[in-house]
Structure 1
Amino acid sequence: MATTDRQATTPALAHALSAAERGLRVIPLTRTKLPALRSPHRDDPASGPCRGECGRFGHGVHDASADPARVRALFAAAPWATGYGIACGLPPHHLIGVDLDVTSRTDSSAALRDLASRHLFTIPPTVVVLTPSGGRHLWLTGPPDVAVPNSASRLAPGIDIRGAGGYLVGPGSRTRHGVYTTAPGTAHLAPAPCPRALLRLLLPRPRAPRHTPATDGAHGRGLVQFVLAAPEGERNTRLFWAACRAYEDGIGPALVAPLAEAARTTGLTEREARATIASAARMTGHHP
């Protein structure tokens, strides 16, 4: 996947610059697969949360960039970096990483095949990265208005998901256990769109309403309440999930206005809410 960069000072930087050329946002990593730059606020426990607003490096995926000059600056600040991380959930790819772990007790590949069989989806040809332990990372893309959360073994044992706020170790990275490489025949591919059925499995599910009869009206109110209860950072994701459920259950058109109003209450704009609902309609095979 990487191309030789004569101006790169380390192999890690060369691979990171190659990834950046494809629009992937990267950060330097250590041999332990952790961000190479420590937080500039680590000695100031009184400082509030910072996602890079201070202008300094050391904010993990919030430092990630596809700009070659910034990538070089990041690696210049961390000359000990032996690899790079690729931030997920960011434009233009909105990357979703499916991490298939390999242990003596789990067969994550078989678990994914079982999920695909039960939920009627197939993984399209896409970039596959081989890990030193024998695992695989599948690169998929998601809709721009949906934030897929990170999870560990929630989908199935041995299957971790890297979504918004997470990162994947990039191919060419050297770690304590070996080098990450691109699987033969996949380096030239672009990350494939995440299948609709799999995307729905990756999104959070609403809690079942208590003491509520199972009627269409009650179900619709439950979906609206699910959106109203969205914390900051999950507003689009919850709205998208609720709209998908509504269209799948045949009450999508009737819930467009209530869901949009609930989303506006949480802080989304009318335009953002309508765009997310329309995306859910398309995702479930309906015309918004």
Structure 2
Amino acid sequence: MATIDRQATTLALAHALSAAERGLAVIPLSRTKLPALRSPHRDDPTAPLCHGECGRFGHGVYDASIDPLRIRELFAAAPWATGYGIACGLDPHRLIGIDLDTKSGTDSSAALRELALRHLFTIPETVVVLTPSGGRHVWLSGPPDVVVPNSAGRLAPGIDIRGAGGYLVGPGSRTEHGAYSTAPGTAHLAPAACPPSLLQLLLPPPRTGRHAGPASAGQHGQGLVQFVLAAHEGQRNTRLFWAACRAYENGLGPDLTEALVDAAVRTGLTEREARSTITSASRMTRHRP
């Protein structure tokens, strides 16, 4: 049975109500950062897919609301909740979360700066939430009628994206690893508009036929090779992994492997390290929906 920390629950509810006043739809979270209310259909394997149409709580982000009465009812049904999640992709902010992780062994902040330099965008002044592990959540706002999907490591290693159907742990939440807080000087800000160049990177690549023209494939592959060749010490593995993921996502992985290995070796990696990194990228993209 879940331990009830009434003070933490009271504080989480207060923060959730404050977020709702800003137009951010919220749900209660447990100390594990998962939705506090379990699915009412969990014991019925034959139940049809339900996003809350049944009228009961327990549908994760689909329970999210800005209605104070409903939020209080959600927390009353989950008195063990110690945090709250903020649903992404909903009006009026259409929130996009850039999750800069520190647990992957990569410098995700540096990776984001590299992307910004490469694609000519800057992260505007916006809400930044500090995580207990030392990571950061950068809040951005998406344009109407654009659906940004969730992704893990697709933009770069250590960078996860929270988009439509996802949620961010709200500041003021307490988890088993510690508390989330707003970075100094950002609490009063609204989520800033996502830079167009960054938005293009967040969207799925346009679908092409299986037999794409060799010229376009070659140009894209050469661009990935050059990306690896431009790596400095401390970036080599990260850049190789990112390039290999993009290659496999675009069906170029097997054809580009030797060129990527050669580029990585020229930057200072051993052939064994390079092939291991490319194999990891292959496995990751193979199991990605």
TM above 0.5, yes or no, is: yes
* Aligned 8 A contact 2:104 2:157 in 1: no
Structure 2 residue 158 is the aligned partner of structure 1 residue 158? yes
1:103 and 1:40 map into 2 onto residues whose CA distance is: 33
Amino acid at match of 1:176: E
Q: Which residue of 1 aligns with 2:46?
A: 46
Farther off after superposition, 202-211 or 151-160: 202-211
Structure 2 unpaired stretches of 5+ = 1-7, 216-289
1:61-100 pair list within 5 angstroms:
61-100=61-100
Distance 1:125 1:35 in 2: 29
- Distance, in Å, in 2 between the alignment partners of 1:123 and 1:203 is 17
- The letter for the 1-side match of 2:28 is P
Q: Hey, what does 1:105 align to over in structure 2?
A: 105
Alignment partner, residue 140 of structure 1? 140
Q: Please name the residue that 1:230 is paired with.
A: none
- What secondary structure sits across from 2:17 in the alignment? helix
Aligned residues between the structures? 209
Counterparts of 1:1-288 in structure 2, within 5 Å, are 10-103=10-103, 105-211=105-211
Question: The residue matched to 1:122 in structure 2 has which SS?
Answer: coil
Cα distance in 1 for partners of 2:142, 2:171 equals 21
Judging changes above 3 Å, is the alpha-carbon distance between structure 1 residues 212 and 40 closer, same or farther for their aligned structure 2 residues?
Answer: closer
SS at match of 1:38: coil
Matched letter for residue 153 of structure 1: G
1:116-150 CA distance string (max 9 Å, x none): 00000000000000000000000000012011000
TM-score, normalised relative to structure 1: 0.70
The answer to whether the Cα contact below 8 Å between 2:52 and 2:63 also exists between their aligned partners in 1 is: yes
C-alpha distance after superposition, 1:49-83 (max 9, x if no partner): 00000000000000000010000000000011000
| TM-aligned CA deviation for residue 208 of structure 1 | 3.6
State the percentage of identical aligned residues: 81
Per the alignment, do residues 213 and 10 of structure 1 end up closer, same or farther by CA in structure 2, a change over 3 Å counting?
A: closer
Deviations 1:240-286 (A, max 9, x none): xxxxxxxxxxxxxxxxxxxxxxxxxxxxxxxxxxxxxxxxxxxxxxx
RMSD value, Cα:
1.8
Residue type at the aligned position of 1:106: T
Aligned with 2:93: secondary structure? coil
* SS, match of residue 10 in structure 1: helix
Alignment match, 2:267: none
- Residue aligned with 1:138, SS: strand
Q: Do 2:130 and 2:137's aligned partners in 1 also have CA atoms closer than 8 Å?
A: yes
**Structure 1: which amino acid aligns with 2:25?**
R
- For residue 209 of structure 1, report the CA deviation from its aligned partner: 2.7
Q: Sort the Cα spacing of 1:159 and 1:213 in 2 relative to 1 into closer, same or farther, 3 A.
A: closer
State the match for 1:218 in structure 2. none
Instruction: Return the alpha-carbon distance in structure 1 between the equivalents of residues 97 and 103 of structure 2.
Output: 19
Cα displacement (A) at 1:206 = 2.4
Equivalent-residue separation in structure 2 for 1:104 and 1:165 (angstroms)? 24
Q: 1:210 to 1:187 in 2, by over 3 A?
A: same
Deviates more, 1:196-205 or 1:100-109: 100-109
Change beyond 3 A, Cα 1:177–1:206: same
